[in-house]
């Protein structure tokens, strides 16, 4: 089968190479998926670049990147019902703590990591559901029902944030989102009640005015950068559900305001989400998709051999949606 491989850290164009490798055989408890699309995420590019703290070389001799994808089950291992053959599925954690991910024609992986995909949902959308979809569902609904609550979603134009806006509005929340000025209309179209420029010097004041006194739950992509703002705008006993802090990985907290509001910091790393919480997030995604309330955007699709360009694209600021590899084109 065709695959993209790397065996050392470096720039995408320097280390990613096209190869022909053996098609895997599903072991007991596994399924073999013929992939149609591979989802490309910033975490894939960062892992390939070697930017994770303390990691000086790849864990495996050869790595097929990418954790997200979608396709059709082609074969099953022992213990898996043969009725799953031919089932359309989307994939999560394809390359998490494993050597071979979804940037290939096939992937063999544990059967529960191949989630059934409804016939009326495209495989392209399926390939966006692993990291962006599950992260959005967990950060929005991880504390339970959001009906009647006011949510602040930072980075509302990003892949996770754009999904989160749609999910929060579908869940009955009042949604205040931040974005660049040029992306405001996209975020409003996704369902946000209000969109504010994240660079506005009066951002905290405007959030408080729009929220009628404070935010119940914040969905935060840049925790360190926004820690002071959040101390100002959160309601007492509010929750900050954060999934990133790329611009400030050693944040300093104004602990006094956090303490006297008894704010909760809920950090989500979707790869290690407990099974029960993952099942709940998957159910939320499926229901939102079925109801037509979630429409993940796709910015660009590349052929497999352009994987390096795809990984560069996913790290480019301002992209409007997910980046995919199309594995059906030859």
User: The domain that contains 103 carries what CATH number?
Assistant: 3.90.180.10
Residues 113, 141, single domain; the answer is no
Residues 117, 173, single domain; the answer is no
pLDDT in tens, the chain (330 residues): 999 999 999 999 999 999 999 999 999 999 999 999 999 999 999 999 998 877 889 999 999 999 999 999 999 999 999 999 999 999 999 999 999 999 999 999 999 999 999 999 999 999 999 999 999 999 999 999 999 999 999 999 999 999 999 999 999 999 999 999 999 999 999 999 999 999 999 999 999 999 988 999 999 999 999 999 999 999 999 999 999 999 999 999 999 999 999 999 999 999 999 999 999 999 999 999 999 999 999 999 999 999 999 999 999 998 999 999 999 976
Residues 143, 196, single domain; the answer is yes
Range of the domain at 182: 132-270
Residues 78, 184, single domain; the answer is no
Quote the distance between the C-alpha of residue 91 and its chain's center: 12
Is residue 240 within 8 A of residue 223, CB to CB? The reply is yes
Residues 194, 264, single domain; the answer is yes
Residues 148, 252, single domain; the answer is yes
Which pTM value belongs to this model? 0.96
Residues 146, 122, single domain; the answer is no
SS3 62: coil
Q: Where are the beta strands (DSSP E) in the chain?
A: 2-5, 17-20, 30-40, 68-76, 88-91, 106-110, 114-116, 150-153, 174-179, 194-197, 215-220, 234-242, 264-267, 298-303, 322-326
281 inside domain:
no
């Amino acid at each position: 089968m065709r695959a993209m491989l790397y065996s050392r850290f470096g720039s995408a164009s320097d280390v990613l190479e096209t190869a022909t490798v053996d098609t895997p055989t599903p072991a007991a408890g596994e399924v073999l998926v013929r992939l149609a699309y591979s989802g490309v995420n910033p975490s894939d590019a960062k892992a390939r670049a070697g930017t994770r703290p303390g990691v000086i070389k790849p864990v495996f001799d050869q790595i097929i990147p990418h954790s997200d994808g979608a396709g059709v089950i082609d074969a099953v291992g022992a213990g898996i019902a043969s009725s799953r053959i031919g089932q359309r599925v989307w994939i999560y954690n394809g390359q998490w703590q494993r050597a071979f991910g979804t940037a290939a024609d096939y992937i063999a992986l544990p059967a529960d990591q191949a989630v059934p995909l409804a016939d009326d949902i495209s495989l392209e959308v399926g390939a966006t559901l692993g990291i962006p979809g599950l992260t959005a569902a967990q950060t929005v609904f991880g504390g339970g029902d959001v009906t009647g609550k006011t949510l602040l979603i930072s980075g509302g134009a990003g892949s996770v944030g754009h999904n989160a806006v749609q999910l929060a509005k579908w869940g009955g929340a009042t949604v205040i989102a931040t974005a660049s000025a040029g992306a405001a209309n996209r975020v409003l179209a996704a369902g946000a009640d209000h969109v504010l420029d994240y660079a506005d010097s009066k951002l905290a004041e405007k959030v408080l005015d729009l929220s009628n006194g404070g935010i119940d739950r914040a969905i935060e992509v840049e925790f360190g950068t926004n820690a002071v703002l959040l101390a100002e705008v959160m309601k007492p006993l509010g929750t900050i559900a954060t999934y990133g802090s790329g611009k400030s990985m050693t944040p300093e907290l104004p602990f006094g305001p956090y303490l006297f509001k008894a704010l909760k910091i809920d950090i989500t790393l979707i790869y290690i989400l407990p099974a029960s919480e993952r099942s709940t997030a998957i159910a939320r995604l499926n229901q939102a998709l079925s109801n037509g309330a979630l429409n993940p955007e796709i910015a660009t699709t590349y052929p497999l051999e352009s994987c390096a360009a795809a990984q560069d694209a996913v790290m480019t600021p301002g992209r409007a949606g997910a980046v995919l590899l199309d594995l059906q084109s030859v």
